[in-house]
Amino acid sequence: MRLRLRSTLAGFGVVALLGVLPGPDRAAAQPKPIKIGEINSYSGVATVYTFPYKEGLAMATKEINDAGGVLGRPLEFLHRDDKLKPDEAVKAARELTLQDKVDFLAGCISSSVGLALSAYAKDAKVLYFATHCQTSRLTWDDGHRYVAHTTNNVNQYVRVAAKKAATLPIKKWANISPDYEYGHNMWEEFSTYLKKLKPDVEFVQLNWPKLGETDHSSYITALLQSGAEGLFSSVWGAQSIAFVKQARPFGLFEKMRFVAPSVGNPDELDPLGKEAPVGAIATPFAWYDAGLHKRHPKLEAWTKKYTEWATAKGLKDPQPKLGASWGYASAYIIAEAIKRAKSTDTEKVIGVLSEGFEMDFPWGKVVMRGCDQQALPPQWLGVVKLDAQGKPFATDIEEVQGKEVARSCEEVKDLRAAAAAKQKK
């Protein structure tokens, strides 16, 4: 009896083992997926942007795969969390290329992560699609053939804002920007372009609070005495909300016209509510705008589809925020490049990117420019207002094509030459 029990158990064991072992090559029946290692910040402070981005990317991937994939193969993104650290990102990139054998790399929200991944890509000769960070150094000063940027860069939306600022009857401009690469890059682009368009402008009281400063009272009172009639701000996210909440009761926005690219997006406007800076000029992604819906007939349906998708995925706020459109566009641009190359071979895909192409999205035409492998999407400009219920939103939306404002291929060439000369020194 005992013996029998034992052999039965052994029999079960063998069956169980067999179950675990791979069957006769089942995987071969399905085409091998095209694997893209996607590195972004999926924990902590940046999740407000990266969660919508990831869902936009996932929705596009599903659409692409449902339509038969790319070159008959499904697209697959392998996500890794960079914890906002360049070294973590490079470590993940190395693992993804060496162990997971991914075909391409993608990702980044932090500009420093993007630059680190780009440097790794150049070294390892892997093609890297920067999908979420925005420094112009990626494809310009530090650009090379192994990096492509699938979203707009700082230069494009700041220039749109500066162009608008130049039309205002304002001579004296002040600045408040966070004291790091991005903030300085933003002010540099804004002030030089504004000066070029309107040479008689003056710049006073340039404030550089640290990134993440929580109390701006002293900057605000200093601004009040500066005599400035216009204020440019590249403070963004939670810090921007804090700055606006603190500046409003001081009467700052009555004293000077506020130009702040990030402030028109709902991740800042919704928490601000009736404390929003009415009259501020911003560069939002205005998916809800009736005028944009008229110009881009597919936008409304896309908005509805994304909102349903994000709700089903359990996002607490399923609105198609900026990141959602970037994730969505990035997946399609990567797929298109592979499709046009008719291969996942790195050099062939780079060949396609360096020639450039154009794609239609629900929000308009995106140009992938060949000379710098930089995306030039449409840009929007809006003014913050309150609706009848006291909810703030950006309205009076104007559309400007990225290619109309971005630095030209010749300028980019000069930037790269200057950066190379600097490195030699």
Bridge pairing between strands 378-386 and 357-361: unpaired
CA torsion, points 11, 13, 17, 19, in degrees to nearest 10?
70
By the rule CB under 8 A, 161 interacts with another protein: no
Residue with tokens 């971005």: 406
Q: Which stretch binds another protein (CB under 8 A): 193-201, 233-241, 350-358, 360-368?
A: 233-241
Contact pick of 274, 298, 313, 342 for another protein (by CB under 8 A):
274
Contact pick of 245, 293, 340, 403 for another protein (by CB under 8 A):
245
Q: Report DSSP letters for 114-176, one per residue.
A: HHHHHHHHHHHT--EEE-S---TTTTTTT--TTEEE-S--HHHHHHHHHHHHHHSS--EEEEE
Q: Which lies closer to another protein via its Cβ, residue 266 or residue 377?
A: 266
Q: Yes or no: say if 231 and 257 are a contact pair by the CB < 8 Å rule.
A: yes
By the rule CB under 8 A, 26 interacts with another protein: no
Contact pick of 31, 68, 251, 291 for another protein (by CB under 8 A):
251
Q: Which lies closer to another protein via its Cβ, residue 69 or residue 230?
A: 230
Contact pick of 7, 8, 192, 221 for another protein (by CB under 8 A):
221
Q: Which lies closer to another protein via its Cβ, residue 47 or residue 65?
A: 47
Q: Which lies closer to another protein via its Cβ, residue 84 or residue 366?
A: 84
Q: How far is the CB of 77 from another protein (least distance, A)?
A: 20
Residue 32: count other Cβ atoms within 10 Å of its Cβ: 11
Please state the φ and ψ torsions of residue 107, each to the nearest 5 degrees: 120, -165
Q: How far is the CB of 209 from another protein (least distance, A)?
A: 7
Q: How far is the CB of 268 from another protein (least distance, A)?
A: 7
The HSE-up count of residue 299 (CA atoms within 13 Å, CB side) is 18
Write the binding mask 172 to 211 for another protein: x where contact by CB under 8 A, - elsewhere.
-------x-------------------------xxxxxx-
How many residues belong to the site for another protein (CB under 8 A)? 46
Q: Which stretch binds another protein (CB under 8 A): 20-28, 32-40, 231-239, 416-424?
A: 231-239
Q: Quick check: helix, strand or coil at residue 388? A: coil
Q: Which lies closer to another protein via its Cβ, residue 69 or residue 266?
A: 266
CA 132, CA 91: separation in Å to the nearest integer?
Answer: 19
CA torsion, points 22, 25, 29, 34, in degrees to nearest 10?
70
Restricting to residues 293-312, name those near another protein by CB under 8 A: none
Q: Report DSSP letters for 204-241, one per residue.
A: EEEE-PPTT----HHHHHHHHTTT-SEEEE---HHHHH
Write the binding mask 30 to 49 for another protein: x where contact by CB under 8 A, - elsewhere.
-------------xxx-xx-
By the rule CB under 8 A, 275 interacts with another protein: yes
Q: Which stretch binds another protein (CB under 8 A): 15-23, 215-223, 294-302, 377-385?
A: 215-223
Residues 6+ apart with CB under 8 A from 218: none
CA geometry: angle 36, 51, 396, nearest 5 deg: 110
Q: Which lies closer to another protein via its Cβ, residue 87 or residue 179?
A: 179
By the rule CB under 8 A, 113 interacts with another protein: no
By the rule CB under 8 A, 249 interacts with another protein: yes
Q: Yes or no: say if 405 and 190 are a contact pair by the CB < 8 Å rule.
A: no
Q: Which stretch binds another protein (CB under 8 A): 94-102, 109-117, 272-280, 336-344?
A: 272-280
Four-residue CA torsion sign, 39, 235, 386, 167: negative
Exposure string for 385-413, b = 16+ CB within 10 A, e = fewer:
eeeeeeebbbbebebbbbeebbbeeeebe
Residues 6+ apart with CB under 8 A from 348: 341, 342
By the rule CB under 8 A, 273 interacts with another protein: yes
Interface with another protein (CB under 8 A) = 43-45, 47-48, 51, 179, 205-210, 212-215, 217-222, 224-225, 237-242, 245-246, 249-251, 267-268, 270-275, 316-317
